[in-house]
Amino acid sequence: MPRPKKERCIEFKPRVTCFKPCGADDEKLERVHLALDEIEALRLINILRMDQRAAAEFMGVHQSTLQRILTDARDKVTDALINGKAIEIPTA
């Protein structure tokens, strides 16, 4: 049985919850789902320019956990951009 996920501090709530390629047919479009903790990790590292130690402390996780979250988020965003997929973000 897997360990329960540790609660993560997420300060940012996105106003926009879906990005898609221009002119793409919504029904046929593959989707990539980004979790709120992945969006928060991207924001802290890439927008606020925090180092990983500070971002991990802010989110209440270990640095290695933050690195995994960040790697997963970057992989998903790259997949969506390269392969023309929509990016969806949960609202809560």
Distance CA 29, CA 10 (A): 29
Distance CA 41, CA 13 (A): 12
- Inform me whether the pLDDT recorded for 92 exceeds 70: no
For residue range 16-68, list pLDDT tens digits in order: 889 999 988 878 899 999 999 999 999 999 999 999 999 999 999 999 999 99
Q: What's the predicted TM-score (pTM) here?
A: 0.85
Half-sphere exposure of 43 (CA within 13 A, CB side): 15
Q: Domain of residue 62: give its range.
A: 34-88
What pLDDT shows up at residue 27?
A: 82
Q: Containing H/E element for 34? A: none
Number of domains composing the chain:
1
CATH of the domain at 72: 1.10.10
Does 7 map to a domain? no
